[in-house]
Amino acid sequence: MHYPEWIWQNGSIKPWAEATTHVMSHALHYGSSVFEGIRCYDTPSGPAIFRLTEHNRRLYASARIHEIEIPYDLDTLNAASREVILRNGFRSAYLRPVAYRGLGGFGLSADTPVDVAVATWQMGAYLGDDVLENGIDACVSSWQRFAPNTIPAGAKAGGNYLSGQLVAREARRLGFGEGIALASTGLLSEGAGENLFLVFEGVLHTTPVSAALLNGITRHTIITLARANGIEVIERDLPREYLYLCDELFMCGTAAEITPIRSVDGRQVGTGRAGDVTRRLQDLFFGLFKGTTPDVHGWLEPLEP
Ligand code: PMP
């Protein structure tokens, strides 16, 4: 594994190897961390971090849900996010802010200090090299998402990703590219680390936040781009069998971007290739970073403002 040179931790940039934490940090034992995943793209008008402020706002929202008090304000974290990418000399990168309960008590409800880091590294297509083009084979997981009022799915917290790991690892073990989880209701929820879109007769259908999912920023981006370009979007409860009936299916997330799904549970989706609506949305989405889709919402936040 090749690591980048610099990382931001608790207020300053330091060499990657120095960003350590104690083994008795609360988060390591109890999953008490919140984090974000953000991408910086090298656009024709210079490197830009995609929806940086919104991602960092979600970090504070996740922290608020779990009563984790982040000892830095939004401007500081936005600046740290820029600084760490610049110091590493990246023009495109994945960015990982994380805040966690550190060392300072062993009990579950201990009020420990909160440590904060912002890491960055270079990342290509998350689910494999050719997947944006050719799609992945997915399966419905034998693991369900957490039930309402158990672990809040709306927070992007470390502990939630025990569920994601069960889903993703089972899928890979069985030879699939990614797993799709059902909510405790039995209705469709989301992928291990991606939201889900189905296409029926040109109309986009996506699962609602009530289905124990993370309210993805890519999901919001796609809904916004689709509606602005005359593609109807419906947020609705969706039963599992709709996966086998839809014309097109894709997953989306910061890491996965827009990844077509060509089969589910060994059943071919549509033609088995990325469909017209998926391709159109990929063009619109990646167009933001190529300069062919106008950034009317100010989503591209320049690396060097
Ligand atoms: N669901 C889960 C469980 C995720 O981890 C992610 C990735 N952050 C997403 C959905 C997609 O969210 P976003 O588009 O904001 O990256």
Atom of ligand 1 nearest to the CA of 192: 3
145, 183 contact by CB (below 8 A): yes
Residue from 161, 221, 254, 258 whose mutation best tests the ligand 1 pocket (most atoms within 8 A of CB): 254
pLDDT in tens, 68-78: 999 999 999 99
Question: Considering the chain, what is the average pLDDT of its residues?
Answer: 97
pLDDT in tens, 130-143: 999 899 999 999 99
Q: Could you tell me where the DSSP H helices lie in 113-252?
A: 131-134, 161-173, 217-228
Name the phi and psi angles at 63, rounded to 5.
-65, -40
Query: Residue 124: which pLDDT band, with cuts at 50, 70 and 90?
Result: confident
The arithmetic mean of pLDDT across residues 8-31, rounded, is: 98
Distance, in Å, from the CA atom of 233 to the CA atom of 68, rounded to the nearest integer, reads: 35
Q: From residue 275, how far is each of 4, 31, 81, 199 by CA, in Å?
A: 37, 39, 36, 9
pLDDT in tens, 41-63: 999 999 999 999 999 999 999 99
Which positions are catalytic? 156
Q: How many CB atoms lie within 10 A of CB 23?
A: 8
List pocket residues of ligand 1, CB cut-off 6 Å.
37, 156, 164, 190, 193-195, 213-214, 216-219, 253-254
Q: Whose CA is nearest to atom 5 of ligand 1?
A: 193
| Whole-prediction pTM | 0.97
* Cα of 253 from ligand 1 centre, angstroms: 5
269, 262 contact by CB (below 8 A): yes
pLDDT in tens, 231-267: 999 999 999 999 999 999 999 999 999 999 999 999 9
- For residue 124, give the DSSP letter: -
* Cα of 156 from ligand 1 centre, angstroms: 8
* CATH numbers and ranges of domains, the chain: 6-121 (3.30.470.10), 131-290 (3.20.10.10)
Q: Whose CA is nearest to atom 10 of ligand 1?
A: 194
* Cα of 201 from ligand 1 centre, angstroms: 26
The arithmetic mean of pLDDT across residues 176-184, rounded, is: 98
The arithmetic mean of pLDDT across residues 118-126, rounded, is: 89
Return the pLDDT at 57: 98
